[in-house]
Structure formats: C-alpha cells, structure tokens
Amino acid sequence: MFGFAKRDTYSIIEMVIAMHYVRGFKEGKKSILYGNRGMCLENDLNDTNTFYRLQNRAVIYKKPTPITISKVDYPSRIEAVIKEAYFKTPSTTDYNGVYRGKYIDFEAKETKLDYFPLANIHVHQIEHLKLIMKHGGIGFLIIRFIKYNKTFLLEGKDFLEFLETMKRKSIPLSYFEEKGHIIKEKYQPRLDYLESIDTLFFKGESV
Amino acid sequence: MFGFAKRDTYSIIEMVIAMHYVRGFKEGKKSILYGNRGMCLENDLNDTNTFYRLQNRAVIYKKPTPITISKVDYPSRIEAVIKEAYFKTPSTTDYNGVYRGKYIDFEAKETKLDYFPLANIHVHQIEHLKLIMKHGGIGFLIIRFIKYNKTFLLEGKDFLEFLETMKRKSIPLSYFEEKGHIIKEKYQPRLDYLESIDTLFFKGESV
C-alpha cells in the first residue's frame, strides 16, 4: 500500500515529464538556454509537424540550430562531446519540407509587442525567402502576437511587399490582420497552418 | 620593390586561403574534427550548391549538424559560447531544397570500399526518404567510391528496391553502375547532380 501511495506521488511528475516530452521537451530545453525566446511557438510548431508526419500529411522539420564547432573531446572511442561551439547567424529560414509535392519554407517568430520588429528577421533570411518563391517554393512567415494570443501566417509576397513599399522597422499588427491569415489553435494539430496553405495555394481543396 | 617581393611571398598563402575558402573551408574544418569523414564530397557538394544559388538554378543547402546543447556560457551580454553539447542521430537526410518548383532531398556519403555499407545510412533516414517520395518530393542518394573516383546518384526508388529485395548489409559498386547515374566532375559546378535530376525527372529538358 505504501508502495502505491509513493507511486501516486511519482505519477504526477511522470505525467509532467510525459507531457513535456510530447510537447517537444528537448527543443523547449534548448529554448530555455537561449533565454526563453520563442519557446511556445517553437514547441507548438514542432508538435504540429510531428502530428502532420504521423498523419502522413506532410514532412516538415525545424532545421537544427547552425553552429560552428571549434573543440570536440573524445572521452571514449564512440563518444564525442562538443566542448566549444558558437551560434552562427542563420542563412536560411528555420523550417522547411514537402507538402503535396510542393516545397514549403518558413520562419516563425513571437512578439510581445503590438508590432513585429523587422530586426527579428535576418537579411539573409529575407533573401532566402525571395529565392524560394522565385524557384516555385511556398515561402511564408508565422508570427505570434503573444499579448493577443493570435498567430498569423503571412505569405512571402505580402511580407516582401511590405518591405518594399513601407520603409519601416516593424510590421504593425494591423498589417497582419489585413493581409495575414489567422491560424486556428486546436488540440491536434496545435497550429493547423497547412489549412491556410490549402486555402492560399491549393484553392481550398484538402488532400 | 622590397614590398612587392614580400607581397609575392604572401600571394601563395593568400591563394591557398582563397582556394580553401571557395572550396568550403569552414565545412572542411568541421569535418576534420569528425576525423576527416566525408570531407571531400561534402565540400564538393557545398561548392556545387553555392554555385547553383549564385547561378539562380536551385536553392539547396546542407542542414546544420543536429546537436543537443546542454551548457551555454554568456561571457558578455551579446556573446554566447556553447560549453557542452552532443551529436544527435539525424532523423532526416543532410541536404534539401527546391529545384524547378520541386522539393529535393538527399543524403551524401563516401566509401573507400568496393561497396557501400548500409550501416552508413540510419534507419530514420531511410524512413525519411520513403516519406519524401510519398509526398511528391525527389529523394535520392549521392555516393562516392573514393578508390574509383566515381560519384553516383541513386534514385530513392532504386535504393529502396535494393533494401527490399536484397537482404544484404551493403550495396555493391555493380548495383550503382547498373542502376545509378554517374555525376560528372567539372570545374564549376564541381558535381553537376542536377543534370542527372533533369534527365530523370524532367525528361532531360534543362531550365
């Protein structure tokens, strides 16, 4: 009986661990190290992409964080421990993959403000999105406004149009409300952004 | 005059540095750390992909090496140094991108032997290639036989057929010679694998 009581105490911890694991704990842990930036959106997207893969809907992954490794230790013949490495400025967006035969490519960011600061997207990433579209891929942004709990998909062409016509350092929420497409939050998938892609690029036909 | 002589002495070093840089020195440096594995093929492919991008032919990148970061130091407010990290088993292939509107995905390996050991491709990567093809992407392998200085493109379907019909732990060179497509080595691009993709997937029509 005591064993069971003890077991009950553990089960909550186990549940929390299991929940964290399901919600992409590993990625979450990494985000904590970066100072909690973009953790929730990243986890939601990782869950969504896992769900899409399991449902055979699409194969989309977050790319690993680009780093420059400068020191590796080999404590044993098969084990390698990186002892010194540095974060590199990404030259591409974070997410890519294939959906309905098309190449999908996007960057995802959160903002606590009423606008999205353009400093959050590197120049290389903007150039990358331009090229993707030029080569027939589907490029876009996913931006979450934390304060309003709203997540938008903004097509690459609308993002570039803003950059070219408005000489501003940030995109206001109103632009996302006008040109963007709100992504519904669900139980599963967490953020069904492919629903927006169906509407925008496949005339609303689902697979 | 003395200044010029001195300059001539340096120019060789500068040329070597420039050559290394052009041939993807940064990636090469990383490979040295891993024990020189796959360095030449990786560099050739990085050069080729850079050339393709500059020529506006395709947008294809090698993904960063997947790692799990466990310790980060912040020597200053803006600087972050990774002090402990581990290599992760990759769940996808190394290269992907977009070409002529299609999703491109492949894994590249070198072998010093007369055969290609299947242990060099992870189970997850095989599953990944299967999924890519299922979703309408173009999946393949690029395998270099160092001893023969031959590099082959093997279509995903032929790779999977081998795995399903032959219960072997390696693919012999003869299978690549029969089913694969030899990739020509050129000055630029170093390895014109998209030429094979044109032949195989676009009825030989170039862009």
Interface check for B77 against chain A (CB to CB < 8 A): the answer is: no
Interface test with B, best of A49, A69, A127 (most B CBs within 10 A): A69
Task: List the beta bridge partners of residue B109.
Answer: B143
B135/A59 CB distance under 8 A: yes
Higher pLDDT, B159 or B34: B159
Give the span between the Cα atoms of B107 and B141, in whole angstroms.
Answer: 5
pLDDT in tens, chain A (207 residues): 333 333 333 333 333 333 343 333 333 344 334 444 445 999 999 999 999 999 999 999 999 999 999 999 998 877 899 999 999 999 999 999 999 999 999 999 999 999 999 999 999 999 999 999 999 999 999 999 999 999 999 999 999 999 999 989 999 999 999 999 999 999 999 999 999 999 999 987 776
Interface check for A184 against chain B (CB to CB < 8 A): the answer is: no
Interface check for B19 against chain A (CB to CB < 8 A): the answer is: no
Q: What is the pTM of this model?
A: 0.80
Per cent of chain B over pLDDT 90 is 74
Please identify which residue in the block is written with the tokens 């694991």: A21
Question: What's the pLDDT at B76?
Answer: 84
Helix axes B25-33, B39-54, angle to 10 degrees: 160
Beta-strand pair B67-73/B95-99: unpaired
DSSP string, A48-101: HHHHHHHTTS-EEEEPPPPEEEEEEE-SSSS--EEEEEEE---SS-SEEEEETT
| Domain boundaries of chain A, sorted by first residue | 1-36, 40-64+90-201
Residue from the list A86, A88, A92 with its beta carbon closest to the beta carbon of B81 = A86
* CATH of A40-64+90-201 given 3.40.1350.10, 3.20.20.100, 3.30.420.40, 3.40.1160.10: 3.40.1350.10
Residue from the list B33, B53, B96 with its beta carbon closest to the beta carbon of A69 = B33
B135/A98 CB distance under 8 A: yes
Beta-strand pair B150-155/B138-145: antiparallel
CATH number at B37-64+91-201: 3.40.1350.10
Interface check for A77 against chain B (CB to CB < 8 A): the answer is: no
Question: What's the pLDDT at A204?
Answer: 74
